Structure 1
Amino acid sequence: MILFFTGIIVGLIVLVLSADRFVNGSVATARNLGMSPMLIGLTIVAFGTSAPEMIVSGTAALADSSSLAVGNAIGSNIANIALVLGITALVSPIPLKAVVLKREFPVLLAATLAVTVLFLDNHLGVWDGVIMVVILAISMYFLTRNNLDAPELIDEVAEVPATSTPKAVIELVVSLALLLASSKLLVWGASGVAREMGVSELIIGLTIVAIGTSLPELAASVASALKGHHDIALGNIIGSNLFNLLAVLPIPALLNPVNLDGEVLLRDYSIMLGLTIFLAASAYIMQKKGHLGRVLGGFLLATYLGYLVLLYLSVNVQI
């Protein structure tokens, strides 16, 4: 058991560090090849920040652990809303930007409701994965057709230090290799813990793996809040959840279709859907105040703790 937990910890640390270098190497390479900062932000930065979840899900699916991959995607979305935004709002109220209310929330809600239909048969197959990828393409179109009001993307690209093309390519290749190796180690450790504890890989994906892959978002959001620069925190979480739903979740569906237990829809996906709707409704209700306050943050964090208790009780029932 100690060996498996060590694999999880080492895998997560290397995964997070290599993901950051992967984004830097990708951005530097694309910039040296002449891509515009806005295009880099909308593609490489957006996908790169979800690289840990995507590669972990792919590795898990190929290792015949598709339930772990599904749990990673759904659990990360739950953690992003209830844990990351909850703690961030407690540190400092989160500003509400008009573009998030008018464009990003409607897209996330529509995508989440559409994917809900695919879960009704408790099976994720190839066609489900194809449909989710198509929804991702449509969502990206709506999000990017008027992208002149997204200077934060250009700022993110500008923060990546200038690097020569050879060095950028080497960083890109090495970080990608580390991503693949660390994700394999993480999946091995998570699967081993599941077997030793006698619980499903889904539960491990929803908790240990999901929280671990959400730690970068939590660290970045809290650090930005402490510095007073967290005006894009909500938009970042919405973007991360959209990619988890439409870019991470299709991976096990396409690589290794899986039959899901009914509890995935009734418990986990329903909680994710409920949190998404609740967060959107709260944002629209509080738009006159211009921020999401500490009371909401406390409620979200309490909800996440309650969800963990529910999972704990579910494990005890299984045992």
Structure 2
Amino acid sequence: MEPFKLYTEEELRNYKWVKVWIGSRASLFLKTLKELLLSDYDVLVFHGCTLSINLAPLFEYKFVRKIRGKIPIVFVCHSQNRVKYILREKIHELARKDRNLLIAYVSTNMKRYLPEKSVYLPQAIPGTFRPNPRIRPDNPPVILCPTAGGKWGEKYKGRRFLLEAVKKLKEKGLAFRLKELGGKPVPYSQMPEQYWKSTLVFDQIYDEVYGKVTPEAFMCGRVALNDAGYPTEDNFVNAENLADKIEEFLVDENLRRKVAEKGRKIVLERHLAENATRRFIEVLKKFVEGCS
């Protein structure tokens, strides 16, 4: 299978945060990172890669090794973009040689692009995300799209495919409403209610991965659509079948209930905060104990 398309340097420089990193504040970032490295930590867990804003993991790796020697390092790929940077900088090749370096991923489908020495760390979702039979979905049905809006959402979350599907279904006369949260921050504590009031949830269509939206929605008893086919193939969508899938789920309440119950069992076992945290601790403990 072909690896993810990697960004060119010119593409990366178009982003404001890259300009910040390349610009005068780089020294401040390095100073902060050095102070953290000199603290008394036993293992460093990087959010993809940290102060370099995910653009230079190899630089960070070398910087850490220079300051703290063989301290165990974990690079967590929380999205497809982080995997791209890991591949571009050949961190996956370093992981094969450096027993004190571990790559973790949070979307099951990322495994196909990463080396043998990588582990799955599911996103932890609090137990407040649970079904609430007292709150019925709005009428007419609501398709909830919590992912990024605007051009970012269109390019990296598949929002444009969703808008095309919505237009097609509206022209057919299907009654429903699209509710987008992109650009309109909702307090995390209020997100369960957003799912409860929805009929169907759109996560993303991008590089066959899924975000936190999927386990959150299923834990609340709602079906979330993504192109990873996670947690089951029943909620798999792509640009070609999205409109048909949306219509199928909107008109068939029994199908929604069946798929939601099936998926919820899987995500509870993997993503419920207590379970996910336990796995995270087990993985870290095993990794650190095996370091030289």
Superposed pair shares fold, TM > 0.5: no
- Which has more radius of gyration? 2
Q: Which has the higher helix share?
A: 1
TM-score, length-normalised on structure 1?
0.28
Greater RCO, 1 or 2 (C-alpha within 8 Å, sep 6+): 1
TM-score, length-normalised on structure 2?
0.30
